[in-house]
Amino acid sequence: MSHGYETGRLDLPFVGHCTFGKRPVCTDLDRIDADVAVLGIPYDMGTQYRSGARFGPRAIREASTLFSFGHGGAYDHEDDLVYLPMDKVRIVDVGDVDMVHTDTVKSHANAEAAVRKIIKSGALPVMLGGDHAVNIPCIRAFSDEEPIHIVQIDAHLDFVDVRHGVTEGHGNPMRRAAEQKHVTGITQIGIRNVSSTAREGYEDARARGSKILSVRQARKLGAAGVLEQIPAGARYYVTIDIDGFDPSIAPGTGTPSHGGFLYYEVMEVLQGLVKRGKVVGVDLVEVAPAYDPSGITGFLAAQVLLNFLGYIFAARQS
Amino acid sequence: MSHGYETGRLDLPFVGHCTFGKRPVCTDLDRIDADVAVLGIPYDMGTQYRSGARFGPRAIREASTLFSFGHGGAYDHEDDLVYLPMDKVRIVDVGDVDMVHTDTVKSHANAEAAVRKIIKSGALPVMLGGDHAVNIPCIRAFSDEEPIHIVQIDAHLDFVDVRHGVTEGHGNPMRRAAEQKHVTGITQIGIRNVSSTAREGYEDARARGSKILSVRQARKLGAAGVLEQIPAGARYYVTIDIDGFDPSIAPGTGTPSHGGFLYYEVMEVLQGLVKRGKVVGVDLVEVAPAYDPSGITGFLAAQVLLNFLGYIFAARQS
Amino acid sequence: MSHGYETGRLDLPFVGHCTFGKRPVCTDLDRIDADVAVLGIPYDMGTQYRSGARFGPRAIREASTLFSFGHGGAYDHEDDLVYLPMDKVRIVDVGDVDMVHTDTVKSHANAEAAVRKIIKSGALPVMLGGDHAVNIPCIRAFSDEEPIHIVQIDAHLDFVDVRHGVTEGHGNPMRRAAEQKHVTGITQIGIRNVSSTAREGYEDARARGSKILSVRQARKLGAAGVLEQIPAGARYYVTIDIDGFDPSIAPGTGTPSHGGFLYYEVMEVLQGLVKRGKVVGVDLVEVAPAYDPSGITGFLAAQVLLNFLGYIFAARQS
Amino acid sequence: MSHGYETGRLDLPFVGHCTFGKRPVCTDLDRIDADVAVLGIPYDMGTQYRSGARFGPRAIREASTLFSFGHGGAYDHEDDLVYLPMDKVRIVDVGDVDMVHTDTVKSHANAEAAVRKIIKSGALPVMLGGDHAVNIPCIRAFSDEEPIHIVQIDAHLDFVDVRHGVTEGHGNPMRRAAEQKHVTGITQIGIRNVSSTAREGYEDARARGSKILSVRQARKLGAAGVLEQIPAGARYYVTIDIDGFDPSIAPGTGTPSHGGFLYYEVMEVLQGLVKRGKVVGVDLVEVAPAYDPSGITGFLAAQVLLNFLGYIFAARQS
Amino acid sequence: MSHGYETGRLDLPFVGHCTFGKRPVCTDLDRIDADVAVLGIPYDMGTQYRSGARFGPRAIREASTLFSFGHGGAYDHEDDLVYLPMDKVRIVDVGDVDMVHTDTVKSHANAEAAVRKIIKSGALPVMLGGDHAVNIPCIRAFSDEEPIHIVQIDAHLDFVDVRHGVTEGHGNPMRRAAEQKHVTGITQIGIRNVSSTAREGYEDARARGSKILSVRQARKLGAAGVLEQIPAGARYYVTIDIDGFDPSIAPGTGTPSHGGFLYYEVMEVLQGLVKRGKVVGVDLVEVAPAYDPSGITGFLAAQVLLNFLGYIFAARQS
Amino acid sequence: MSHGYETGRLDLPFVGHCTFGKRPVCTDLDRIDADVAVLGIPYDMGTQYRSGARFGPRAIREASTLFSFGHGGAYDHEDDLVYLPMDKVRIVDVGDVDMVHTDTVKSHANAEAAVRKIIKSGALPVMLGGDHAVNIPCIRAFSDEEPIHIVQIDAHLDFVDVRHGVTEGHGNPMRRAAEQKHVTGITQIGIRNVSSTAREGYEDARARGSKILSVRQARKLGAAGVLEQIPAGARYYVTIDIDGFDPSIAPGTGTPSHGGFLYYEVMEVLQGLVKRGKVVGVDLVEVAPAYDPSGITGFLAAQVLLNFLGYIFAARQS
- Contact status, residue C268 vs residue C225, Cβ threshold 8 Å: no
Q: Do F19 and A17 touch (CB under 8 A)?
A: yes
- Contact status, residue E52 vs residue A52, Cβ threshold 8 Å: yes
B156 is in an annotated binding site: yes
pLDDT value of residue A3: 45
How is A233-284 classified by DSSP, letter by letter? Answer: TPEEEEEEEGGGB-TTT--SSSS--SS-B-HHHHHHHHHHHHHHSEEEEEEE
Is some CB atom of chain B closer than 8 A to the CB atom of D293? yes
Point out which residues pair with C83 in neighbouring strands: C74
D95-109, E118-132, F72-86: range with lowest mean pLDDT = F72-86
C79 is in an annotated binding site: no
Does residue F216 fall inside a structural domain?
yes
pLDDT value of residue C70: 62
Is some CB atom of chain D closer than 8 A to the CB atom of F188? no
Is-cis flag, bond preceding C171, omega within 30?
A: no
| pLDDT tens, N- to C-terminus, chain A (318 residues) | 344 555 689 999 999 999 999 999 999 999 999 999 999 999 999 999 999 999 999 999 999 999 986 667 889 999 999 999 988 999 999 999 999 999 999 999 999 999 999 999 999 999 999 999 999 999 999 999 999 999 999 999 999 999 999 999 999 999 999 999 999 999 999 999 988 888 999 999 999 999 999 999 999 999 999 999 999 999 999 999 999 999 999 999 999 999 999 999 999 999 999 999 999 999 999 999 999 999 999 999 999 999 999 999 999 987
F283 is in an annotated binding site: no
pLDDT value of residue F8: 85
> Distance (Å, rounded) from C-alpha B211 to C-alpha C248?
30
Query: Considering only CA atoms, which of C78, C218, C67, C292 is closest in space to residue A248?
Result: C292
- Name, in order, each residue with C-beta under 8 angstroms of A160's C-beta and a sequence gap of 6 or more: A166, A169, A171, A172, A175, A196, A197, A198, A201, C3
Does residue C100 fall inside a structural domain?
yes
> Distance (Å, rounded) from C-alpha B112 to C-alpha B43?
13
Q: Which band of pLDDT confidence, cut at 50, 70 and 90, is reported for residue C68?
A: confident
Mean pLDDT across chain C, nearest whole number?
Answer: 95
Does the pLDDT of residue F292 top 70, yes or no? Answer: yes
Per-residue model confidence as pLDDT tens digits over D81-126? 999 998 899 999 999 999 999 999 999 999 999 999 999 999 999 9
Does residue B269 fall inside a structural domain?
yes
pLDDT value of residue F194: 82
Owning domain of residue D160: 20-317
**Chain E: nearest CA to F288, how far in angstroms?**
17
Is some CB atom of chain E closer than 8 A to the CB atom of F69? yes
Per-residue model confidence as pLDDT tens digits over B257-267? 999 999 999 99
Does residue E7 fall inside a structural domain?
no
> Distance (Å, rounded) from C-alpha C188 to C-alpha C204?
13
- Contact status, residue D300 vs residue D265, Cβ threshold 8 Å: no
Does the pLDDT of residue C4 top 60, yes or no? Answer: no
Q: Do D102 and C290 touch (CB under 8 A)?
A: no
Mean pLDDT across chain B, nearest whole number?
Answer: 95
In chain C, pLDDT over 90 holds for what percent of residues? 92
Does residue B7 fall inside a structural domain?
no
Amino acid at F219: R
> Distance (Å, rounded) from C-alpha A204 to C-alpha F198?
75
Q: Which band of pLDDT confidence, cut at 50, 70 and 90, is reported for residue B1?
A: very low
Q: Which band of pLDDT confidence, cut at 50, 70 and 90, is reported for residue D5?
A: low
pLDDT value of residue D1: 38
- Contact status, residue D265 vs residue D226, Cβ threshold 8 Å: no
pLDDT value of residue A109: 98
Is some CB atom of chain B closer than 8 A to the CB atom of F263? no
pLDDT value of residue E3: 45
A57-66, B196-205, C239-248, F289-298: range with lowest mean pLDDT = B196-205
pLDDT value of residue D311: 97
Per-residue model confidence as pLDDT tens digits over E236-267? 999 999 999 999 999 999 999 999 999 999 99
Per-residue model confidence as pLDDT tens digits over C215-235? 999 999 999 999 999 999 999
- The residue in chain E having the minimum alpha-carbon distance to the alpha carbon of residue F303 is E258
A118: enclosing H helix or E strand: helix A104-121
Q: Which band of pLDDT confidence, cut at 50, 70 and 90, is reported for residue C2?
A: very low
Q: Please give the average per-residue pLDDT across B304-315, as a whole number.
A: 97
- Contact status, residue F169 vs residue B99, Cβ threshold 8 Å: no
CATH number at residue B109: 3.40.800.10
pLDDT value of residue D3: 45
Q: Which band of pLDDT confidence, cut at 50, 70 and 90, is reported for residue C243?
A: very high
Query: Considering only CA atoms, which of E90, E84, E80 is closest in space to residue E72?
Result: E84
- Contact status, residue D173 vs residue D133, Cβ threshold 8 Å: yes
Q: Please give the average per-residue pLDDT across C82-91, as a whole number.
A: 93
Does the pLDDT of residue C104 top 70, yes or no? Answer: yes
E156 is in an annotated binding site: yes
Chains B, C: CB contacts under 8 A, how many?
A: 96
pLDDT value of residue B194: 82
> Distance (Å, rounded) from C-alpha D230 to C-alpha A240?
67
- The residue in chain C having the minimum alpha-carbon distance to the alpha carbon of residue B71 is C198
- Contact status, residue A313 vs residue A84, Cβ threshold 8 Å: yes
F196, F216, F292 member nearest D294 (Cβ) = F292
> Distance (Å, rounded) from C-alpha B216 to C-alpha F101?
31
pLDDT value of residue D300: 98
Distance of CA D310 to the CA centre of its chain: 14
> Distance (Å, rounded) from C-alpha C268 to C-alpha C274?
10
In this structure, what are the phi and psi dihedrals at residue F112, rounded to the nearest 5 degrees?
-60, -45
Is some CB atom of chain F closer than 8 A to the CB atom of D16? no
Does residue B14 fall inside a structural domain?
no
Q: What is the DSSP-derived secondary structure letter of residue E68?
A: -
pLDDT value of residue A1: 38
Is-cis flag, bond preceding E130, omega within 30?
A: yes
Per-residue model confidence as pLDDT tens digits over C257-281? 999 999 999 999 999 999 999 999 9
Chains sharing 3 or more CB pairs under 8 A with chain C: A, B, D, E
Total domains in chain F come to 1
Per-residue model confidence as pLDDT tens digits over F37-69? 999 999 999 999 999 999 999 999 999 999 986
> Distance (Å, rounded) from C-alpha C119 to C-alpha C121?
5
Where would I find the beta strands (DSSP E) of D62-138? 74-76, 81-83, 91-96, 124-129
pLDDT value of residue B86: 86
ipTM of the complex: 0.97
**Chain C: nearest CA to B134, how far in angstroms?**
26
CB atoms within 10 A of CB B81: 18
pLDDT value of residue A70: 62
> Distance (Å, rounded) from C-alpha F74 to C-alpha E195?
8
Query: Considering only CA atoms, which of A253, A264, A259, A316 is closest in space to residue A49?
Result: A253
- The residue in chain C having the minimum alpha-carbon distance to the alpha carbon of residue B300 is C258
Q: Please give the average per-residue pLDDT across F248-274, as a whole number.
A: 98
**Chain A: nearest CA to F40, how far in angstroms?**
8
- Name, in order, each residue with C-beta under 8 angstroms of F60's C-beta and a sequence gap of 6 or more: F20, F128, F284, F287, F298, F301, F302, F305
Does residue E4 fall inside a structural domain?
no
Q: What is the DSSP-derived secondary structure letter of residue C86?
A: T
Which residues of E fall within a CB distance of 8 Å from C131?
Answer: none
Does the pLDDT of residue F7 top 80, yes or no? Answer: no
Does residue A162 fall inside a structural domain?
yes
Per-residue model confidence as pLDDT tens digits over F184-222? 999 999 999 988 888 999 999 999 999 999 999 999 999
Is some CB atom of chain A closer than 8 A to the CB atom of C85? no
Q: What is the DSSP-derived secondary structure letter of residue C98?
A: P
Per-residue model confidence as pLDDT tens digits over E176-229? 999 999 999 999 999 999 888 889 999 999 999 999 999 999 999 999 999 999
Virtual CA dihedral for A162, C300, C298, C153, nearest 10 degrees?
Answer: 150
Is some CB atom of chain B closer than 8 A to the CB atom of F46? yes
Is-cis flag, bond preceding B130, omega within 30?
A: yes
